[in-house]
């Protein structure tokens, strides 16, 4: 349970803060999208996501019917993201372009802020 709490706190705060920064500082988000166009940067992001995903899945692969499964799902999403970037970078670049031009991006960032805050709350109060 202590590991679940720690990871929920870590991921929740990180998700909320990063989403808030991208919502407020649009230039940072544009720079991130520009970085993702470069295959070298994409490779580094894929490798980092893969290592983070594997470390999360190996340390916290808990499939229970409570809030702890959220931490497990975050780990699996990170692992799948890393694998996707490494094995199908063309598709990832295409998705990134669609996301960059989406009018719903600010709304999605707002939702992820609340998700991050909810995960943080669960980590600190459970």
User: Which pLDDT value is given to residue 112?
Assistant: 98
User: Which pLDDT value is given to residue 1?
Assistant: 79
Report whether pLDDT(77) > 90: yes
Q: How far is CA 70 from CA 89, 92, 95, 102, 119, in A?
A: 26, 24, 24, 26, 8
pLDDT digits (tens, 9 = 90+) for 15-58: 999 999 999 999 999 999 999 999 999 999 999 999 999 999 99
Average pLDDT value over all residues in the chain: 96
User: Which pLDDT value is given to residue 49?
Assistant: 98
What gap in Å lies between CA 73 and CA 33, rounded to an integer? 25
User: Which pLDDT value is given to residue 88?
Assistant: 96
Q: How far is CA 117 from the centre of its chain?
A: 14
């Amino acid at each position: 349970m202590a590991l679940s709490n720690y990871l929920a706190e870590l991921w929740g705060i990180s998700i909320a803060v990063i989403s808030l920064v991208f919502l407020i500082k649009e230039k940072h988000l544009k720079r991130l999208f520009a970085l993702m166009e470069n295959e070298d940067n994409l490779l580094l992001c894929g490798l980092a996501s893969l290592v983070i995903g594997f470390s999360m899945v190996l340390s916290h692969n808990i499939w229970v019917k409570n809030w702890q499964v959220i931490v497990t799902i975050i780990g699996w999403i990170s692992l799948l993201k890393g694998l996707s970037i490494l094995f199908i970078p063309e598709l990832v670049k295409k998705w990134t372009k669609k996301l960059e031009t989406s009018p719903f991006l600010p709304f999605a960032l707002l939702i992820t802020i609340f998700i991050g805050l909810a995960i943080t709350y669960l980590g600190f109060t459970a």
